[in-house]
Amino acid sequence: MLGYFLTTGLRPAAAALLRRAALACALLGATAAHALTPAQALAMAQGDSDARIAAIEAALASPTAPLGPYLRAMADDAVVVADGRALVVQGGQASDPVSGAAVALPEGAEDVMNNNRLRGEISAALAALDLFAPDTVRRREAAQAMLKQPSPERLPLLDRALAQEKDAQARQSLELARSAAQLGSSDVLQRRDAAAALGDSGSPQARLLLQTRLAEESDERVQAQLRRSLAQVDDRLAWGERLGVVFTGISLGSILLLVALGLAITYGLMGVINMAHGELMMIGAYATYMVQNLFQAYLPNAFDAYLLAAVPLSFLAAAAVGALMERTVLRFLYGRPLETLLATWGISLVLMQLVRSLFGAQNVGVENPSWMSGGWQLLPNLTLPLNRLVIIVFAAAVLLAMAWTIGRTRLGLFVRGVTQNRAMAACVGVNTARVDTMAFALGSGVAGLAGCALSQVGNVGPDLGQSYIVDAFMVVVLGGVGQLLGAVYAALGLGILGKFLEGWTGAVLAKIAVLVFIIVFIQKRPQGIFAMKGRSAEA
């Protein structure tokens, strides 16, 4: 009678579903008495796709040790069928999938063929087995795999995994996977509760699952809950996107601040229009690249510490080049801004060509240390990269060090004195030429630190500095010439404003809008956000 209904009384899809259910019930009865039986192994390897999938689901209901290796052998196309039983063949040797004992390979054994649907089910089954793995990372990955391929048949397995899972991240993924599986349940109340649970999660995966179910759902009550959950998820995701834009703007602003801090000394305090500032950043980045290579070659076990050595070396390399520039060229051009601009532009071309000759014209890669890899997940759709967070903290540290150097040290006092009144400073015994060299070297060294930081978020190449030099000058002019606090406000403001505009108008129009804003602002307030005070303002 059952066979009659399965073949004639139902639609083909329903008949297939009942066949799978009947086979699963039979196999579950066998599983209760024995773990993995030869009959189960054969059922997973022989028959139509529905029957084989039902056999896999039934075996997963009570997984045992032989099941994992057998499924992996099926995934590797290493299973054959001969004389009414399934065998695993590896390296030319056949073995029994239940006991693992070696057996003779019968003649005429047929290879088991797996279509794409079966391969997906086998992969999902292997991931399901990893839900009980001792390794936390494997359990997290398995829970994510269950979420990507939800199935109501796996609800008992997910319940068992949830009952013993202690890791918070894995539990969260398992709960989402359980709710996703319940969306396909035949129980209306269970589907509605699952939709509500997915709405509370606020994750992008939940949004996709809710949208897919809404297109298939026929019950009006469940449809209403699906729409409410979708609106709830969209609201939470929108907040994640807004916070992501703010963080991206702050990250860009911190990079601009690092680039502009050196210019705040060389241009803001000394009045030198240094068009080679970007190439000094490039030198700092290449110094970081060389330190990385040295650690890889001679200190591979201490590779994670290479950046700690690269920071001072990138500062010293750029500072040395800056001091050489000042002593050989710029000291003869003070008070002549046009000649200074042309000279530094020529130096920038020389430095770029020198780097191309030494390292090649192609970009080179600088790896992040392991402690700067990965990210901190703040929201389901918002992960803050660790390398960006470190650069923000680094920019703040460099800013504080610069403010202390200019405001609290003897060098800072001499720089401020020479900037405000060079003749009077010379009259009281200050070696103004030496102060000029040290100040320019300090600004150049800070540019090298900016290059070191930039090497952690992108490739290093001869044209690295060209991408930031214009923005750096805009930050210094907008913030107020010689004002460190103004540079902070300008860098963060331009970074956040630019990223918000990019979301509405695109990158090109956002750049144009920022330039127009700066032009209008400078026309209304030529001194910038913070005006210079004292004798230097009167000069």
Contacts of 259 (CB under 8 A, 6+ apart): 277, 281, 447, 450, 468, 469, 471, 472, 475
pLDDT of res. 482: 66
The pairing of strands 93-95 and 79-82 is unpaired
The helix/strand/coil state of 77 is coil
What confidence score (pLDDT) does residue 20 get? 45
Count the Cβ atoms, other than its own, within 10 Å of residue 117.
12
Distances (CA, A) of 503 to 203, 248, 249: 21, 12, 12
For strand 79-82 and strand 85-90, is the pairing parallel, antiparallel, or unpaired? Answer: antiparallel
> What is the reported pLDDT for 8?
38
- Report the amino acid identity of residue 204: P
Nearest to 146 by CA among 100, 190, 194, 179: 179
State the Cα–Cα distance between residues 530 and 209, nearest whole angstrom.
Answer: 52
Predicted local confidence at residue 310, as pLDDT: 95
304 DSSP assignment? G
Structure letter (DSSP) for residue 468: T
Q: What is the distance between the alpha carbons of residues 104 and 94, in angstroms, rounded to a whole number?
A: 6
147 vs 370: CA distance, rounded Å: 29
Q: Could you tell me the pTM of the whole model?
A: 0.73
Please give the torsion angle defined by the CA atoms of residues 112, 118, 120 and 124, in that order, rounded to the nearest 10 degrees: -90
Q: Where are the domains of the chain?
A: 38-103+112-117, 132-218, 244-524
CA separation for the pair 463, 399 (Å, rounded)? 25
For the chain of 539 residues, list the mean pLDDT of each consecutive stretch of 10.
Answer: 38 43 41 63 86 83 78 87 87 85 84 86 81 84 81 81 86 86 87 88 85 88 91 90 90 89 81 89 95 94 94 96 94 87 93 93 90 86 91 94 90 85 88 90 93 90 86 85 80 87 83 87 82 51
**CB-based contacts of 76: which residues, under 8 Å, 6+ apart?**
none
Q: 247, 489 in Cβ contact below 8 A?
A: no
- Is residue 375 within 8 A of residue 384, CB to CB? The reply is yes
List, in sequence order, the alpha helices (H) in 204-336: 204-216, 220-266, 277-298, 306-328
pLDDT of residue 354: 94
Instruction: Give pairs for 344-349: CB < 8 Å, separation 24+.
Output: 344/272, 344/273, 344/274, 344/275, 344/276, 344/277, 345/275, 345/276, 347/275, 347/276, 347/279, 348/275, 348/276, 348/278, 348/279, 348/465
Residue that is written with structure tokens 């510490």 in the block:
305
Q: List all residues 6 or more positions away from 45 whose beta carbon is below 8 Å from its beta carbon.
A: 52, 74, 79, 81, 86, 112
Please give the backbone phi and psi of residue 481, each rounded to the nearest 5 degrees, phi first: -60, 125
Q: Which helix (H) or strand (E) holds 103?
A: strand 102-103
How many angstroms separate the CA atoms of 439 and 266, rounded? 7
- Domain covering 244-524 in this structure, CATH number: 1.10.3470
Q: Using an 8 Å Cβ cutoff, are 206 and 233 in contact? A: yes
Bridge partners, residue 460, by sequence: 364
